[in-house]
Structure 1
Amino acid sequence: MHKPYISPETKLNELTFRSIIIGALLSVVLGAANAYFGLFSGLTVSASIPAAVISMAILKAFKNSNILENNMVQTAASAGESLAAGVIFTIPALVIMGYWEEFNYIETTLISICGGVLGVLFTIPLRNALIVKEKLMFPEGVATAEVLKTGQTGGKSVKYLIYGSLIGGLFKLGTEALKLWGGVYEKAALVNQKAYLYFSLNLSPALVAVGYIVGLNIATLVFLGGVITWWVAMPAYLSFNGYAQVAAELVEAGKFVSVDGISPEALGGALWSAKMRYLGVGAMIVGGLWALISLKSALTTAFTSGVKAFKAGAQNVSETLRTELDTPMSWVLMGIGIMIVPVFFIYLTIIQDVPVTLFMALIMVLAGFLFSAVAGYMAGLVGSSNNPISGVTIATILSTALLLLLLMGSSDPSRGAAGAILVGAVVCCAAAIAGDNMQDLKAGYVLGATPRNQQVMQMIGVVAGALLIAPVLNLLLASKGIGNPTAEHPNPLAAPQATLMMSVATGIFGGKLPWTIISVGGGIGALIIIADQYLKKIGSNFRMPVLAVAVGLYLPFELDSSIFVGGVIAWMLDRSFKRNNISSESADRASNAGLLIASGLITGEALMGIMIALIATFGLDLELSDGTFGGSLLGPGLLFLILVYLYRSVVKASKDKL
C-alpha cells in the first residue's frame, strides 16, 4: 500500500494566492527560456526539478510555507516549459513556410491555451490508471518529489542552479552579444573534390548540459545519427554525384550564387540543409509509426481506463481520500467541449469549409487524447525529456495532411499544409503537457498532494505561459530570425523541429522534397528498430530508440557532437562513483547537484539569449570584437573549464551533504 509523505488526513495550505502568483510567473520565465532553447537546438528538457528548487528558494522567505505548496508552484511552472515545447515544435512552421509573416497573437495564444488545457483534461482520467494502478515509474516525478523532500531539511542545493545559470548566461553574453569568441568550432576538407571530411562542435554549455541530462545512451544515439549523415551519407553523395553536379544543385536550390569559391564548410552546411537532413525526416516518420505500433497494448490499457473513468462520473467527495480527489468528470467533459469551440473557428479561417473543419476538429480531439495517452505512458517509462513528442506530432501532421488532401484537393497547397500544422500544433501541445503533467501528478502522489489542486495549477501554468509565448516568439523573430536565413539574419535560430513539421506538411501537398533521401532515412529507421528489438531480446542495458537516432540524423553535426560530450561526462562520473564504491545516497546527492548545474546552464543561456534579443530590438550593439578575439582556442578553452567545474562539483557533492 502506498504511503504518501504527507498523510491524507493531514491538511496543509496547497492552493494559495502566493503559490498561484509565483507559479504563473515561473511558468512565463521557464516557458520563454525553453522556447528560445528549443528553437536553437531542437531539443527541450523537463523543468520540474529546477522549478522545484526555485520554488523552495522563494518560499523559504515565508515562515508558514510547506512542501505541498512548493509542489503546487513547480506544477504550474513546469507546465509553461512543456507548453513552450509543444508550441515551438509546430507553430513556427507557419512563419517559416511564409503562411504567417509573424506570430499572430490571438491564434497563437488560443491554440496554445486550447492544446495545453486539453492536455491537462486528458490526463485527469489517466492519473488513476497509470500512476495508481499501473504503478509506472515516472522517473522525473519521483526525482522532483525527492528534491522537495530534501528542501524540507535544508534546500542548499539551490546554489548549484544559481551558479549554473550565471555561468550559462555569461558564456552566452560573451559569445553572442560581445562577440569575444565564436560559437562553433568547425573544420572541413574536400580532398580531390570527392572525399569529404568534416567536424564541428557547438561551444554552447547548454547543449553539453542536455547530453549530461539525457545520459550516454541517448547522447550516443544522437551522435550516431550525426555520424551517419555527415560522415557516411554526405561523403557518399558527393563521391557518387561528383562535386560539380552537387555544387550546381546547390546553386539551383538558392544556397549559393555561383559554383566558384565555395568553402568546404559552406558546402557541407548547404548540402545538409538542402538534402541530407531529410534522412531525419524519413527516420522520424518511421519512428513515429513504430511508437504507435509498439505501444498498442499500453494505449489500449490507457484508453480503456480513461473511458471507464469518464463513464464512472463524479467521485463521492465525502468518501474519497484527499489524495485521491480528481477534478469531476462532468467538468472534464464540459472543458473539452468548450476548448473545441475556439479551435473550430481558427481551423475554419484556414480550411474555409464547415463540414471539413468540423471533421478536422473531431480528428484533433481523438488524436489529442490518443497521443496524450502515448505521452503519459512514455513519460512513465522513460521520463518527459525522452518522450517521443516529435514522432507522434509527425504522425498527426502526416495523417491530417493526407486527409485534407483527400477532402480539399491540392489546388491550394499552402492552406492545406497550414491546416495540417495547426491540427498538429494542438495535439503537440496536448501531448507535451500530458507527459509533463503526469510527472507532476506522480510527484504529488509520492508527496501526498491533492490531485484536484494540482490539476487547477496545471491549467494556471498553461494559461500564464500561453499569454506571453507569442510576444517572445515575435521578439526572437525580429531580432534573430527563425528558420530561413536572410540578409538581415544570416544565422537565424534553426527551429529544427518546426522545419521538419513544415517539410512533412508541404511535402504531402506537392512540395519539392528529396523523396529518395527520405526513403533512405526511413530504411535507416527500420534498421535501427530491428537492432533495438535484438538488443531487447538479449536483455542488453544499451537500447536504440529510433527517434533518438532520427533526431541526430536531422540536427547539424555541431549539436550532435556537443550533446555527445555531455553524455560522456555523465558516463565518466558514473564510472568514477562505481569504481570508488560511492554509496547510493552519496550518488543521489551528486546526481541532484549535476542535474541542477546542467539545468542552470540551460536556463541561464536561454534567458540571456532572450535578453540579448530584447536589447537588439532597441538597436543597441554590444559587440567588442568580430568573434576572433583570443583566436580559435578561447571559446573551446572556456567550455573546457566549465566542464571541469561541472565534473568537480558533482564529485564534491558526492562527499558533502547538500
Structure 2
Amino acid sequence: MASPATPQLTVRAVLLAIVLAVILSAANAYLGLFAGLTIATAIPAAVVSMGVLRLLGGGTILENNIVQTGASAGSSIAAGVIFTIPALVIMGFWPDFKYWWVLGIAGLGGLLGVLFSVPLRRSMIVEEPLPFPEGKAAAEVLKAGENPGPGLKILGLSAGIGALVKLAAESGLRMIPDNAAGAGFFGKYLGYMGTGLSPALLGVGYIVGLNIGIVVLSGSILAYNIAIPLYHAFFLHTDPALAADVAGKTAMEAAGIIRGAKIRYLGVGAMLIGGIWTLFSLRKSLLSGVKSGIAAARKGAGANLAETERDLPMKWMLIALVLFVLPLLALYQAIVGNWGVSIPMTIIMIVAGFLFVSVSAYLAGLVGSSNNPVSGITIATILFASVVLMLLLGSDSKIGAVAAIMIGAVVCCAAAVGGDNLQDLKAGYLVGATPWKQQLMLGIGAFSCALIMAPVLNLLAQAYGIGDPTRPGSLQAPQATLMASVAQGMFGGHLPWDMIIAGAVIGAVVIAIDSWLKARGSHFRVPVLAAAIGIYLPLELMVPIFLGGLLAYFVERRHGVVGADESVRDRVHRPGVLFSAGLITGEALMGILIAIPIVVSERADVLALPEQFHFGQFVGLVVLAVVGWLIYRTGAKAHPQV
C-alpha cells in the first residue's frame, strides 16, 4: 500500500486520464449502440497508464490509480448517454444531436453522479464493505504493475487485430460480411440461424463469461427459433397489414420484418419487469446503504480524518449541487415552458438521481460495473417520471414523453457514473489513495467525455444510422429505442401492448427461475435483464458473445480453476481480458474512423474494394475462428505478471 504522501493528482496523470477517457468513451459509445453492452475500462486504462508513465520516467501506484479513475469515466458516461439520449432522435424530437444539450445532460448528470456517490463511500467500502469485483481486480493490477510490458503488448496486438477486421468488414473494404446467416420456410414455419463476425463481440463474451453468454443466447433463441416461427405460423393472419408486408418476401426478410414489428417487444416487456424487480429486490439494502452513507458523511464532516479517509467536503458538495441543478432547471424550463412543470421535473431528477446512484453503487459492489443494470434503473425512472408528468401535463401531452426522457437521461448518467465511482474508490482504498482526489478526477474525466459525445453520436448517426429499422446496418441502440417506446407508450403512443405484456410474463418466469436457482445456491444464474437483452437484440449479436463466454470457460478448465474463488479466476483471466478489451477498443475506434470518409463523401461504400475482393461468409467465419483461437491461446498460456 502506498503512502498518502506519494504523488497522486499530478498534471501528467490528469492529462493522460483525460485522453484515455475520451478515447474509451468514444469506443464504448460505438459498442453500446452496436451490441447493447459496454465494458468497464479501468483495467485496460491502468495497464496503458503504467506503460506510458514508465516511458515518462516512471509513475507511482497512486498516479496510475488516478489515471484509471479518470479513464473509467469513458464507460460510465458513454453508457449513460447512449442508453437514453438517442431516444430523442428516434422519437423525432431532434433531427440530430444538439451539442450544448448533450453536453448539459451528460456533463451535469455525470457530475451529479460523483456528488451523490460521495456519502456512500464510507458505508459501502469501509464500514460494511461490498466485494466490488472490478475495483479489487484493478487494485491487483496496480499492485502488480512493476512489469506493464506484457500487458501493453497484448493490448496493442489485439487492438490492431480488431481494427483490421473491422476495416475489412462491410462498412469498410467489404472483404468479409458482418454476419453469416441463413433462413428458410418449413411448411408454415420459418427458421433462422446466424452469427455475427465481429471480434469485439467475442471479446465481450470472454469478459462477461459463459453464464451471461448462455442467458443472452437463450433469449435470442427464444425470440428467433420459437417466437418468430410460432407467430408466422399461427398469428400472422391476425395482423393483415403485417401479413401484407411479409407476403412474397424471402425467409430472411420475413424474419426481420416480424421481429421488428412484434417479437422484439417481448424484450421490452421483459426489461420493464426486470427493472421493477431490481428495485424491489434491493429495497432493504438500498435504504440501509443510503441511511448509513448520510450518517457517515455527517459524522466525518468536522473530524480530524486521515488523508486516506478524506472525501470531498459536504459544504462544497452542497454548493456544487445547487450550481449543477440550476442549469438543469433552465434546460427543463426550455423544454416545457412552464415553471409549474419544470420545477417538479427537477425535484424528481434530484430525488431519483440520489436514489438510483445508491442502487447503482450497491449493484456495482455486488456484480461489477459491466453487469450493472443501469438501463433497468432508467426504465423505472422514466415510468415514475411519466406518471407524475401525466398528472401535470395530461396523458395526451406532445412534450410529456420528451420530458420523461430528459429526466431519465440525467439520472442514467448519474447512476452510471455513481456506480463506477464506487468501483474506483474501492481500488483506491486498497492501494492507499486519497478519496477526494479520486472523486475530483472522476468529475474531470466525466465532463471531458461529455464534451465529445455529441460529435461522436452525430458521426455514427450519419454514417450508419441509429435505431433505424429501415436502414441496413443501422446501429441497434436497443436501450434508447426501448426508452423511446416506453415514454411514447405512456403518452398515447401506439405500442404492441400484447407483446409487451407477454414479454413481462416471460420476464416474471425468468425471475422465478433465477430465484429458485439462488435458493438452491447454484453458481449458474439467470439475470432477467440479460435474458431481456437477448430477446431484444438480433441473434447474430448474441452467438459470438456466447462463443466468447465458452472460450473463457475453456481457459478456466485449462488452468484448473472452474468453480474456484472469483479472485483466482480474475487473475487467470487477466491476459484474456486484456486481449478482449483490445479487440473491442480497436474495432470500435476503427468503426468511428471509417465513419468519417462515409459522412464526408455521403457514400456508404466509399472504401469498398472491387467485387473480386469480396470473399463472403466462409472467409468471415474463418477469420472469427482465428480470432477466437488467439483469445484462447492468450488466456491459456502462462504469462509473466500482467
Aligned to 2:242: 249
Return the match for 2:444 from 441, 460, 481: 460
User: Which whole-Å CA distance do the structure 2 matches of 1:426 and 1:392 have between them?
Assistant: 12
Aligned to 1:279: 266
Aligned to 1:209: 203
Q: Size of the alignment, in residue pairs?
A: 638
Counterpart mapping for 1:621-636 below 5 A: 621-625=606-610, 629-636=614-621
- For residues 308 and 585 of structure 1, do their structure 2 counterparts lie closer, same or farther at Cα, with a shift above 3 Å needed? closer
Aligned to 2:172: 177
Pair 1:394-2:379 in alignment? yes
Return the match for 1:129 from 102, 108, 123: 123
Pair 1:550-2:566 in alignment? no
SS state at 1:137 partner: coil
Return the match for 2:254 from 267, 272, 296: 267
- For residues 438 and 277 of structure 1, do their structure 2 counterparts lie closer, same or farther at Cα, with a shift above 3 Å needed? same
CA contact (8 A) 2:179 2:617 kept: no
Deviation (angstroms), 1:657: 4.8
User: Which whole-Å CA distance do the structure 1 matches of 2:612 and 2:258 have between them?
Assistant: 25
Pair 1:600-2:585 in alignment? no
SS state at 1:45 partner: coil
Counterpart mapping for 1:348-359 below 5 A: 348-359=333-344
Matched letter for residue 280 of structure 2:
I
CA contact (8 A) 1:51 1:77 kept: yes
- For residues 247 and 32 of structure 1, do their structure 2 counterparts lie closer, same or farther at Cα, with a shift above 3 Å needed? farther
- For residues 245 and 515 of structure 1, do their structure 2 counterparts lie closer, same or farther at Cα, with a shift above 3 Å needed? closer
Return the match for 2:2 from 2, 6, 14: 6
SS state at 1:189 partner: strand
- For residues 344 and 162 of structure 1, do their structure 2 counterparts lie closer, same or farther at Cα, with a shift above 3 Å needed? same
CA contact (8 A) 1:80 1:466 kept: no
Aligned to 1:641: 626
TM-score of the superposed pair, with normalisation by structure 1: 0.94
Deviation (angstroms), 1:18: 1.0
SS state at 1:618 partner: helix
Counterpart mapping for 1:464-543 below 5 A: 464-485=448-469, 489-543=471-525
Counterpart mapping for 1:330-345 below 5 A: 330-345=315-330
Aligned to 2:103: 109
- For residues 656 and 581 of structure 1, do their structure 2 counterparts lie closer, same or farther at Cα, with a shift above 3 Å needed? farther
User: Which whole-Å CA distance do the structure 2 matches of 1:154 and 1:417 have between them?
Assistant: 49
CA contact (8 A) 1:76 1:462 kept: yes
Deviation (angstroms), 1:494: 1.3
CA contact (8 A) 1:437 1:458 kept: yes
User: Which whole-Å CA distance do the structure 2 matches of 1:158 and 1:76 have between them?
Assistant: 19
User: Which whole-Å CA distance do the structure 2 matches of 1:62 and 1:495 have between them?
Assistant: 40
CA contact (8 A) 2:556 2:562 kept: no
CA contact (8 A) 1:313 1:328 kept: no
User: Which whole-Å CA distance do the structure 1 matches of 2:397 and 2:478 have between them?
Assistant: 25
SS state at 1:337 partner: helix
Return the match for 2:41 from 18, 41, 47: 47
Deviation (angstroms), 1:433: 0.5
SS state at 1:188 partner: strand
SS state at 2:195 partner: strand
Aligned to 1:447: 431
Alignment gaps of 5+ in structure 1: none
Deviation (angstroms), 1:626: 5.3
SS state at 2:193 partner: strand
User: Which whole-Å CA distance do the structure 2 matches of 1:560 and 1:582 have between them?
Assistant: 26
| Worse-superposed segment, 144-153 or 546-555 | 144-153
CA contact (8 A) 1:286 1:525 kept: yes
Matched letter for residue 513 of structure 1:
L
CA contact (8 A) 1:120 1:430 kept: yes
| Worse-superposed segment, 348-357 or 200-209 | 348-357
Counterpart mapping for 1:604-623 below 5 A: 604-619=586-601, 621-623=606-608
Deviation (angstroms), 1:370: 0.7
Counterpart mapping for 1:371-410 below 5 A: 371-410=356-395
| Worse-superposed segment, 544-553 or 489-498 | 489-498
Deviation (angstroms), 1:402: 1.8
TM-score of the superposed pair, with normalisation by structure 2: 0.96
Alignment gaps of 5+ in structure 2: none
Aligned to 1:576: 558
- For residues 655 and 44 of structure 1, do their structure 2 counterparts lie closer, same or farther at Cα, with a shift above 3 Å needed? closer
Counterpart mapping for 1:294-309 below 5 A: 294-309=281-296
Counterpart mapping for 1:4-43 below 5 A: 5-7=1-3, 10-43=4-37
User: Which whole-Å CA distance do the structure 1 matches of 2:527 and 2:241 have between them?
Assistant: 37
| Worse-superposed segment, 401-410 or 606-615 | 401-410
- For residues 490 and 446 of structure 1, do their structure 2 counterparts lie closer, same or farther at Cα, with a shift above 3 Å needed? same
CA contact (8 A) 1:180 1:625 kept: no
Pair 1:236-2:230 in alignment? yes
Pair 1:361-2:346 in alignment? yes
- For residues 190 and 247 of structure 1, do their structure 2 counterparts lie closer, same or farther at Cα, with a shift above 3 Å needed? farther
User: Which whole-Å CA distance do the structure 2 matches of 1:556 and 1:191 have between them?
Assistant: 21
User: Which whole-Å CA distance do the structure 2 matches of 1:547 and 1:493 have between them?
Assistant: 20
User: Which whole-Å CA distance do the structure 2 matches of 1:300 and 1:456 have between them?
Assistant: 26
User: Which whole-Å CA distance do the structure 1 matches of 2:210 and 2:499 have between them?
Assistant: 28
Aligned to 2:65: 71
Aligned to 1:423: 407
User: Which whole-Å CA distance do the structure 2 matches of 1:607 and 1:440 have between them?
Assistant: 24
Q: Deviations over 1:200-225 (max 9, x none)?
A: 10110111111110111111111111
SS state at 2:249 partner: coil
Q: Deviations over 1:421-468 (max 9, x none)?
A: 010000100111011111111110111000010011001101111111
| Worse-superposed segment, 305-314 or 471-480 | 305-314
SS state at 2:184 partner: strand
Q: Deviations over 1:153-202 (max 9, x none)?
A: 4542111111111110000000021000111011111122x112111101
User: Which whole-Å CA distance do the structure 1 matches of 2:49 and 2:211 have between them?
Assistant: 31
SS state at 1:398 partner: helix
SS state at 2:474 partner: coil
Deviation (angstroms), 1:580: 11
Matched letter for residue 605 of structure 1:
E
Matched letter for residue 133 of structure 2:
P
- For residues 510 and 588 of structure 1, do their structure 2 counterparts lie closer, same or farther at Cα, with a shift above 3 Å needed? closer
SS state at 2:181 partner: strand
SS state at 2:293 partner: helix
SS state at 2:25 partner: helix
Aligned to 1:83: 77
- For residues 445 and 250 of structure 1, do their structure 2 counterparts lie closer, same or farther at Cα, with a shift above 3 Å needed? farther
Q: Deviations over 1:70-126 (max 9, x none)?
A: 110111111122101100000000001100001111111010111100110111110
Matched letter for residue 495 of structure 1:
A
Matched letter for residue 262 of structure 1:
K
Identity of aligned residues (%): 48
- For residues 61 and 247 of structure 1, do their structure 2 counterparts lie closer, same or farther at Cα, with a shift above 3 Å needed? farther
SS state at 2:614 partner: coil
Q: Deviations over 1:340-376 (max 9, x none)?
A: 1111111111122102111111111111111100110
Deviation (angstroms), 1:631: 3.0
CA contact (8 A) 1:182 1:627 kept: no
SS state at 2:144 partner: helix
Q: Deviations over 1:286-309 (max 9, x none)?
A: 111111111011101111023224
CA contact (8 A) 1:313 1:329 kept: no
- For residues 444 and 408 of structure 1, do their structure 2 counterparts lie closer, same or farther at Cα, with a shift above 3 Å needed? same
